[in-house]
Amino acid sequence: MTDIAARRTQIKERKLELLARITHVDQELAAHGSPDWEDNAIEHEEDETLEALGNAAQKEILMLDAALTRIDAGEYGFCVTCGTAISEERLNLLPATPFCRNCAQ
């Protein structure tokens, strides 16, 4: 049985981690700007990697927010597609998942 209060705390902590990561990525992106064209090329590649990390974090935050909404609605832990209970093992691995194993495939 899922401890909803503990799961809510886990999700909120993960969200804070991701927000800190996004802040760090934004700071790194703002700090780049070498006048040397070779350095600029390398920084551009690094910027693309940083942007991808930031985008992934933003997508995960959306999933975490949706999970918090399901917790508030009393719907957390149930598949949004078929309505069956999501296994404890799956929720431990993917706390924000809205799908049971079958519907996720």
| Tens-binned pLDDT, residue by residue, of the chain (105 aa) | 579 999 999 999 999 999 998 888 778 767 765 556 566 556 656 667 777 777 889 999 999 999 999 999 999 999 999 999 999 999 999 999 999 999 999
Q: Tell whether 35 is covered by a domain.
A: yes
Q: Tell whether 28 is covered by a domain.
A: yes
Q: Tell whether 100 is covered by a domain.
A: no
Q: Tell whether 62 is covered by a domain.
A: yes
Q: Tell whether 12 is covered by a domain.
A: yes
pTM as predicted: 0.77
| Unique residue bearing structure tokens 């691995």 | 93
Tokens of 36: 């040397």
Q: Residue 78's beta-bridge partner residues?
A: 85
* 72/86 Cα distance (integer angstroms): 17
* Range(s) of the domain holding residue 60: 4-77
